[in-house]
Structure 1
Amino acid sequence: MTDDKSKSGGQDRTRISLEQDYEVRDWSQKFGVSEDTLRAAVAKVGNVANDVQRELRGS
């Protein structure tokens, strides 16, 4: 079975994959930030979505 990239909300929504354009787009929209800001936050705290969200909120 192939991975349908048009459908978001995949198996592991606790981690952010910067290697998939659609994930970068979806997470950026979810957090209300630019793709560059998302990438910088992931570089700083890792790819766990909750950690990135805390970083983006400044908590």
Structure 2
Amino acid sequence: MNSQTKRAMPDRSKINVREPRQVKCWAHKFKISQDELVRLVERVGSSAAAVRKELAT
């Protein structure tokens, strides 16, 4: 496999709210609604750690 056919691994520490599958998975993981997750990401950024920290407060 060369560099043109190899897929890049997604950054699992970031939440991509443009990917419905990721939103659903992360919302389930954090036990919140998908809408709430999107609002949190807009407020604190796409870092899963930042979202987790905000939920803990």
The interval holding the TM-score normalised by the smaller chain is 0.7 to 0.9
Displacement of 1:12 after TM fit? 1.1
TM-score normalised over the length of structure 1: 0.77
Give the unaligned 5+ runs of structure 1: 4-9
The alpha-carbon deviation at position 30 of structure 1 amounts to 0.4
Query: Matches of 1:37 and 1:57 in 2, distance apart?
Result: 14
Over 4 Å off, 4+ runs: none
Count of aligned pairs: 51
* Gapped regions of structure 2 (runs ≥ 5): none
% identical aligned pairs:
33
Residue pairs, 1:2-41, within 5 angstroms: 11-41=10-40
Deviation at 1:23, TM superposition (A): 0.1
Instruction: Report deviation, 1:20.
Output: 0.3
- Provide the aligned C-alpha RMSD in A: 1.5
Distance in 2 of aligned mates of 1:41 and 1:31: 11
Query: Greater Rg, structure 1 or structure 2?
Result: 2
